[in-house]
Amino acid sequence: MNSNEAPIIEVVDLVHQFGERTVLNDISFNVHRGETLVIMGGSGCGKSTLLRHMIGSMKPTSGSVKIFGEEIATMKEHEIGRVRQRFGMLFQSGALLASLTVGENVALPLFQHTHKSADEIEAIVKQKLEMVGLTGFEDLKPAEISGGMKKRVGLARALALDPELLFSDEPTSGLDPIMTAVVDQLTLKLARGSHMTAVVVSHDMTSAFRIATRMIMLGHGSIVAQGTPEEIRTSTNPEVHQFINGEADGPIPLNLSQDKHEDHQCVKPRPFALARYRFHHKIS
């Protein structure tokens, strides 16, 4: 890792509170050029909130988030726009515009931010769709394709401007194993070949270990562990061990109390049960 160069992303002491609840607590990390950082953690641990801070759509309660060396947390909306043109973002659901076709969705950032001619844009759109294995789907509407396809179109759109930095929210959930491998290889190819930096939020451990150069595990809004995939794999931290091996028993609280659960299922004595029984069965 080239640590002489300024980091692409620099998060320092990030804290975010929703009212009383602290969702992110003192998060600090750096991401350098060419790295692929995988952020993992259970549902509701603050992964998506952290991602939203990095793309500037949420403001931290305190702390700083720097993207390309620029403080994004205190930026005005039009300044953020300038930074946003340099990165791509893949949303969990794809977030395609339902009124546009697949091709128009991918072309949208090109039309908005470049001065390329319609022919050039068409060629780029074709090429990007080919990268995600969707050649020939240009003229379909998002409603006519499957969830996994939408996600791949979302990826093509995120890559339309050849970004230096790619954020992905669960890029492989809902994809079949083969498509997962294709998307992973694409991320790897871009990271190695074009020195693209990637930040990926993922549950999918197979995919995470395949693409990551570094991993962060979040729990209860704090960083539980971070390191290279090898360090994470051999970690002695019981929470990490439980998570990457997908075990139901372990130190991570699931917020479902076994005892309470049983309470609901137990048969409570019902008043008039006998009377009702007699009534229905006409027993006197």
Partner 1 sequence: MVFIGVRAAPMVALTAFSIGVTLAMQAAHSLKELGAEMYIPDLVMVTLLREMGPVLIAVIVIGRSGSAVAAELGTMKVSEEIEALEVMAINPVQYLVVPRFLAMLVMLPALTIFGNYIGVFGGWAVCTFALDFNTAGYVLRALQSADTWDLYSGMIKSGVFAWIVITIACNAGLHVEGGAEGVGQATTASVVQALLAMLVTNAVLTGIFFFAA
The answer to whether residue 91 forms part of the interface with partner 1 (CB under 8 A) is yes
Q: Are 96 and 153 in contact (CB under 8 A)?
A: yes
Distances (CA, A) of 42 to 11, 217, 253: 21, 9, 10
The answer to whether residue 218 forms part of the interface with partner 1 (CB under 8 A) is no
Q: What span, in angstroms and rounded, lies between the C-alpha atoms of 35 and 17? A: 29
The answer to whether residue 96 forms part of the interface with partner 1 (CB under 8 A) is yes
119-158 footprint of partner 1 as x/- string (CB under 8 A): --------------------------------------x-
Q: How far is CA 228 from the centre of its chain?
A: 19
- Return the bridge partners of 217, or none: 40, 225
The answer to whether residue 98 forms part of the interface with partner 1 (CB under 8 A) is yes
79-83 long-range Cβ contacts below 8 angstroms, 24+ apart: 80/56, 83/56
Q: What's the token pair of residue 232?
A: 């994470």
Among residues 1, 5, 6, 57, which is the contact residue for partner 1, using CB under 8 A? 57
Segment near partner 1 (CB under 8 A); pick from 19-27, 65-73, 92-100, 187-195: 92-100
- Return the bridge partners of 227, or none: 215
Among residues 28, 61, 74, 93, which is the contact residue for partner 1, using CB under 8 A? 93
Q: Are 40 and 218 in contact (CB under 8 A)?
A: yes
The answer to whether residue 81 forms part of the interface with partner 1 (CB under 8 A) is yes
Q: Are 87 and 167 in contact (CB under 8 A)?
A: yes
Between 91 and 243, CB nearer to partner 1: 91
249 in the Ramachandran plot: left (φ > 0), alpha (ψ -120 to 50) or beta?
A: beta
The answer to whether residue 113 forms part of the interface with partner 1 (CB under 8 A) is yes
Shortest approach of partner 1 to residue 78 CB, angstroms?
8
User: Using only C-alpha atoms, what is the Rg of the chain?
Assistant: 24
Among residues 13, 59, 61, 97, which is the contact residue for partner 1, using CB under 8 A? 97
User: Is residue 202 helix, strand or coil?
Assistant: coil
Shortest approach of partner 1 to residue 3 CB, angstroms?
28
Give the number of other CB atoms < 10 A from CB of residue 32.
Answer: 19
User: Is residue 281 helix, strand or coil?
Assistant: coil
Shortest approach of partner 1 to residue 95 CB, angstroms?
4
Helix pair angle (102-113, 147-158), 10° resolution = 20
Q: What span, in angstroms and rounded, lies between the C-alpha atoms of 259 and 249? A: 16
Q: Mention every residue, 6+ apart, whose C-beta is less than 8 A from residue 263.
A: none
The answer to whether residue 265 forms part of the interface with partner 1 (CB under 8 A) is no
Between 16 and 84, CB nearer to partner 1: 84
The answer to whether residue 278 forms part of the interface with partner 1 (CB under 8 A) is no
Shortest approach of partner 1 to residue 39 CB, angstroms?
17
Between 134 and 215, CB nearer to partner 1: 134
| Number of chain positions touching partner 1 (CB under 8 A) | 20
Shortest approach of partner 1 to residue 169 CB, angstroms?
9
Segment near partner 1 (CB under 8 A); pick from 108-116, 173-181, 238-246, 248-256: 108-116
| Residues engaged in binding partner 1 (CB under 8 A) | 55, 57, 80-82, 84-85, 89, 91-93, 95-98, 108-109, 112-113, 157
